[in-house]
Amino acid sequence: METPKEIFLKDYKKPDYYFDTVTLTFSLGEEHTIVSSNITVYPRIEGESSAPPPLVLDGVDLKLISIKIDGKELQKEEDYHLDARNLTISSPPSTAKFTLEIVTEIYPQKNTSLEGLYKSSRSFVTQCEAEGFRKITYYQDRPDIMAKYTCRVEGDKALYPVLLSNGNLVEEGNLEGGKHYAVWEDPHKKPCYLFALVAGQLQSRDDSFVTRSGRKVSLRIWTTAEDLPKTVHAMSSLKAAMKWDEDVFGLEYDLDLFNIVVVADFDGAMENKSLNIFNSEFVLVSPETASDAEYARIQGVIAHEYFHNWTGNRVTCRDWFQLTLKEGLTVFRDQEFSSDMGSRSVNRIEDVSLLRKNQFPEDAGPMAHPVRPHSYIKMDNFYTSTVYRKGTQVVRMYKTLLGSQGFRRGMDLYFKRHDGQAVTCEDFYAAMRDANDADFANFLLWYSQAGTPTVKVTSFYNSEAKTYSLKFSQQVPPTPGQAVKEPMLIPVAVGLLDSNGKDMPLTSVYRDGMLQVVSTDGQPAYTTVLKITKKEEEFVFVEISERPVPSLLRGYSAPVRLMSELTDADLFFLLAHDSDEFNRWEAGQVLSAKLMLSLVGDFQQNKPLSLKADFVHGFKSILTDYTLDKEFIAKAIDLPGVGEIMDMMDTADPDAVHAVRSFIRKHLASELKAEFLKTVENNRSSDPYVFDHSNKSRRTLKNIALSYLASLEDAQITELALSEYKTATNMTDQFAALTALVQNPGKTRDDVLADFYGKWEHDYLVINKWFGLQARADIPGNVENVRKLLKHPAFDLRNPNKVRSLVGGFCASPVNFHAKDGSGYKFLGEIVLQLDKLNPQGASRMVSALSRWRRYDETRQAHAKEQLEMILSTNGLSENVFEIASKSLAA
């Protein structure tokens, strides 16, 4: 294949032409769809004496019917050039404005890429981010082209009674031949990636929200009639998000109508102006069919897409390199919302856990890139954990440095300056800096340097001077294309604990010999934020009456790897006493990781495995501390994952880490069997399902206790789990019991899986959970079972949810995906090539599981390399898969 073209941030140029208004007409058909566009065009620079530059439009998989300028039809070769990617108008008019009319023919029924306009079941639906609009009509498909849109949709009234697009409905009526039409007008300028259209047989849940200025907004969630009862939680989440955004950021909704459409075949969720489109798994829930985690996820995703109305829509990205400007900021906003709706400390733990699980490995692999990438081949490949989750931490650092009020001032100035504009990360940075007259030396490096910084800390207590010093050093590791890194601004939130476990008052600290006051209004602080800006830096606290135990990086104040000289005794002390719940959890995780790494060494040397009594005691003290939040306890007793431990090893050994983690779980279950049984018993409830923090916490703790017990392979425990499964009144408890029962192969496992499928075979979202559970199983040789499930009548390779559940689930199984015989890698290689023909975006996400193949032993490396070479040698490979596979192989 021809080597795809790489696009670079440094090559960005303003467009030669802008679009003012866009009028679209869609004539939806069963064989094809006709799209007519009428665009008002004006040059960026008016009145040039030289010939005007060509107008280059993007277009893929389109059949051009006609093209006119100011009513005059253009002739091919003479007036324009057409190739597989672009339509180039050689000599546009030199007038101040002109009208461009284009008619194209497209084939939504044949479009399986989930981009552009396509059919999902019986409905037409669009997905235009990042570059899907070019599959609808010829256009300047880039986010800095912002225009006002009017859209007319025509279709068969019986087949497509509901016709939706962006903005407000301004006209509708009947046409000849059983057709009808609807005209939608969006008064706000937007880039084409926010355009949306839906047509189908849908019904809506209707509600309303009155903004603080008195505007009554109609709210509608559209789905199929049978799924309408499952939209209650989504509607309440939407109303809660609208109120929260007003209360916290002063941001109101700006139209009279807000629509959400639920689609089975859709990649994620999309914030199209006033017409959000969601994959069904991000909207549809009921107590019987969805877990607490899914309720929480839906609450967050509904809020995320709504929050984009301001951070993404009203203020958008100048170019796709700035993606974190809208996504990192909006994820930060949805995390804050979720924290206010539940437990802030538990949500912080979950967010950091996901960062470490997904983004840290990405930052250490061949696809490592800054939160604002320098280049890409396919932008679709850069909707990554780095852009989203590390980008979120960059936004959070602004708040850590400025405080809540300072951050709000920065947000207000950002909107005041840039409402209605397409902007850059520097514009957001400038608003935060200028609103607070702040010194952000080195901070912009977070946008341009890849890699996870390592921060090392040493301490010294001077008993005579009553001072306590912390010496920091930082290093950002080399990453592809970036060998040498500069020191960054790293905010480290610090507290000091006395011998009784109480926070010590902090009044002042010396930095480079300069005294800095920590207290506020004469009142001592108990947490202060130290700004690390150099490769090495020392801070000296004064008036410290005894040697403290430091609580470092409180609340995880920066996305770094922290290395300290804290002893096990210090960590147990922090686990028992730290007032910062994140750091209390972190102390337990560090202890567990140290233990697991030590036992992995023993396992590899065939030494017997054993647990120290102090670890079991510390674990028990958390499990039985009834003063703690129950969900926090559940997080605190959950061991680090296999992937997280492998990430700490020079050569990853999935078999050894899995064996050690299983040993620890089984040993703890055996030693603390009575305590786990009591935890299950004390947290049962027959009350009707309620999704709130109290009930969610209770269920979470009960079910992790049951999971530990199930590792014992004890007949009494099996009966307990079966009883929990059969008597469960909600999916959270039923699926947790099912998960506990399928840990061990045998008749009970087979019977309960068959029973679950029999109960839920008509609910495709529940069956996706069933697929995922089996795919993730650590039973040796599970790849053959997964191959069989590919042929199951409920599986469909064209559906992204099913692919994520089965194929993505299998790749998350360290034992089977990384099987030493290469069977897991071979399975993935075959699937990637099949999927690439249907959905290149989905295929590229799957092949990324092979990206860190050099982390493993030589045998596994050889098998993984063989699959990457096989993929790259395939004719007709998509650019999406080529980019990931080629960079992975070259690492």
What are the catalytic residues? 305
- The crossing angle, in degrees rounded to 10, of helices 391-418 and 425-436 is 80
Number of H helices, E strands in the chain: 29, 33
Q: What is the DSSP letter of 630?
A: H
Separation between Cα atoms, residue 136 and residue 105, nearest integer Å: 8
Contact 128, 193 (CB under 8 A): yes
Separation between Cα atoms, residue 325 and residue 395, nearest integer Å: 9
Concatenating the DSSP letter of every residue in 475-522 gives EPPPBTTB-------EEEEEEEE-TTSPBPPB-EEEETTEEEE--BTT
**Which amino acid belongs to residue 456?**
K
| Backbone torsions φ then ψ of 135, nearest 5 degrees | -90, 0
Token output for 512: 């480079």
C-alpha separations of 664 from 421, 694, 708 in Å: 54, 29, 10
Strand order in the sheet with 17-27: 72-73, 63-69, 98-106, 33-43, 17-27, 147-156, 179-190, 168-175
Separation between Cα atoms, residue 583 and residue 573, nearest integer Å: 11
Separation between Cα atoms, residue 769 and residue 775, nearest integer Å: 10
- Helix or strand or coil: residue 142? coil
Token output for 540: 């000296």
Burial class (CB in 10 A: 0-12, 13-18, 19+), 29: middle
- Helix or strand or coil: residue 794? coil
In sequence order, the 6+-apart residues with CB closer than 8 A to the CB of 666 are: 711, 712
Separation between Cα atoms, residue 204 and residue 624, nearest integer Å: 47
Residue whose entry in the numeric block shows the structure tokens 């902007």: 423
| Of residues 35, 32, 66, the one with CA closest to residue 165 | 35
Separation between Cα atoms, residue 825 and residue 831, nearest integer Å: 10
| Backbone torsions φ then ψ of 469, nearest 5 degrees | -110, 145
Contact 54, 89 (CB under 8 A): yes
Separation between Cα atoms, residue 283 and residue 270, nearest integer Å: 12
Q: What is the Cβ-side half-sphere exposure of residue 373, based on CA atoms within 13 angstroms?
A: 26
Separation between Cα atoms, residue 730 and residue 738, nearest integer Å: 12
- Helix or strand or coil: residue 831? helix
**Which amino acid belongs to residue 183?**
V
Q: What is the Cβ-side half-sphere exposure of residue 44, based on CA atoms within 13 angstroms?
A: 11
Separation between Cα atoms, residue 266 and residue 113, nearest integer Å: 10
Bridge partners (DSSP) listed for residue 530:
492
b/e per residue 524-538 (b: at least 16 CB within 10 A):
ebbbbbbbbbbeebb
**Which amino acid belongs to residue 649?**
M
Contact 685, 850 (CB under 8 A): no
| Of residues 839, 841, 818, 815, the one with CA closest to residue 828 | 818
Concatenating the DSSP letter of every residue in 173-193 gives EEEGGGEEEEEEEEEEEE-GG
The CA R_g of the chain, rounded to the nearest whole Å, is: 28
Contact 552, 564 (CB under 8 A): yes
* DSSP H or E stretch at residue 843: helix 840-847
